[in-house]
Amino acid sequence: MKVMCEADSKNVWLEEEIVHIPVMVKEVMEYLCVSRDGVYLDCTVGTGGHAYNILSNFPNAMVIGIDWDEEALNIAEKRLHKFQGRYYLRCENYTNAEKVLDILNIEYIDGILLDLGVSKHQLSDVTRGFSFQREGNLDMRMSKKLDITAEHILNTYTLKELVNIFNIYGEERYALRISKNICREREKYRISKVSQLVNIILSSVPRKKYRIHPATRVFQALRIAVNNELENLKIFLTSNIFKRLKVNRRIAIISFHSLEDRIVKNFFRDLEFLEVVSKKPLTPSAEEVRNNPSARSAKLRVAEKVQ
């Protein structure tokens, strides 16, 4: 089904706050929203970009938006306000999505969306330390309810545990050297600031020109570890949430990391009640990447419930 879509890419500023530009909006509308008056579960509603587009393109649709970041939800609330009565926002881990549906007394839904990764809003908040480009505290928790921070990992995990995190989640070539230097430096001081970690990384890798900043992979790996990102995705995909999805309705997942994409691909292939809609993952158009470089590594996979 093709739909005309009021892409929300210009709606980036909201009351002086930087708002995340939603990724692959047209594709999500086209592949996920097969019912014009459906109830959609947006498990990572963030600042409400995709939700806004669903609500504005389908005047009878409803969105249940979950996010575990309270600040993001506050922005989503302002942004979606004009659709009052057609959306519910809940601060929760999406692994508890069923519980949210129970609370709202909603038995069946017409679509599930997960947009994994980190929002612009989180990246720009220096107090959280997600970005290696801005000085801040090495926190990296998307939800204040999480108890392990990046600082805790850096200062207490063993050399082997650090190497594993950087290797597996970051596919970082210099994981061992960086981890050794972290262990050496933390004997002298507590590693708590973004600039301290960036300096350790820069002193651990060979001096040459890099395509991406040498700190990119380590920061990504720490974020994945702090927020238990891969585990949460697996818990969700093995949960009973699909019992709540109507037959002939779809789940769409946007991932930004090859490990996440592999998990999604394998689950979509192996769950017998799902049929893969997108054999190859959909990717953003060249034009979208030009307008929003953060979209460049996005991959969208879609599956339909068939029984």
List the one residue from 49, 129, 214, 284 that touches ligand SAH (CB under 6 A): 49
Would you state the structure tokens that stand for residue 252, as one six-digit string?
Answer: 């769409």
Residue nearer to ligand SAH on the CB measure, 93 or 196:
93
Whether residue 2 contacts residue 30, with contact meaning beta carbons closer than 8 Å, is answered with yes
List the one residue from 24, 29, 31, 47 that touches ligand SAH (CB under 6 A): 47
> Binding segment for ligand SAH among 47-55, 177-185, 268-276, 292-300 (CB under 6 A)?
47-55
For position 69 contacting ligand SAH by CB under 6 A, the verdict is: yes
List the one residue from 24, 55, 62, 72 that touches ligand SAH (CB under 6 A): 72
The residues in 165-204 that bind ligand SAH, with binding defined as CB under 6 A, are none
> Binding segment for ligand SAH among 40-48, 176-184, 255-263, 265-273 (CB under 6 A)?
40-48
Residue nearer to ligand SAH on the CB measure, 20 or 249:
20
> Binding segment for ligand SAH among 46-54, 203-211, 213-221, 272-280 (CB under 6 A)?
46-54
Cα–Cα distance for residue pair 35/38, rounded to 1 Å? 5
Cα–Cα distance for residue pair 216/219, rounded to 1 Å? 5
Q: Which residues of 187-200 are buried (b: 16+ CB within 10 A; e: fewer)?
A: eeeebbbbebbbeb
For position 283 contacting ligand SAH by CB under 6 A, the verdict is: no
Helix (H, G, I), strand (E, B) or coil at 151: helix
Whether residue 97 contacts residue 236, with contact meaning beta carbons closer than 8 Å, is answered with yes
Residue nearer to ligand SAH on the CB measure, 103 or 247:
103
For position 87 contacting ligand SAH by CB under 6 A, the verdict is: no
List the one residue from 48, 111, 136, 170 that touches ligand SAH (CB under 6 A): 48
Count residues contacting ligand SAH (CB under 6 A)? Answer: 21
For position 93 contacting ligand SAH by CB under 6 A, the verdict is: yes
The mark string for 215-254 relative to ligand SAH (x by CB under 6 A, - otherwise) is ------------x----x----------------------
List the one residue from 83, 87, 94, 166 that touches ligand SAH (CB under 6 A): 94
Q: Which residues of 22-56 are buried (b: 16+ CB within 10 A; e: fewer)?
A: bbbbbbbbbbbbbbeebbbbbbbbbbbbbbbbbbb
Check residue 15 and give left, alpha or beta (phi > 0: left; psi -120 to 50: alpha): left
For position 125 contacting ligand SAH by CB under 6 A, the verdict is: no
Q: What is the DSSP string of 214-267?
A: TTHHHHHHHHHHHTTHHHHHHHHHTSGGGGGEEEEEEEEEEESSHHHHHHHHHH
Judging by DSSP bridges, how do beta strands 109-115 and 245-255 pair with one another?
A: parallel
Q: Which residue is nearest to ligand SAH (CB)?
A: 49
List the one residue from 31, 40, 58, 68 that touches ligand SAH (CB under 6 A): 68
What is the amino acid identity at position 34?
V
Residue nearer to ligand SAH on the CB measure, 23 or 198:
23
Distance (Å) of CA 298 to CA 58, 91, 284 = 24, 25, 7
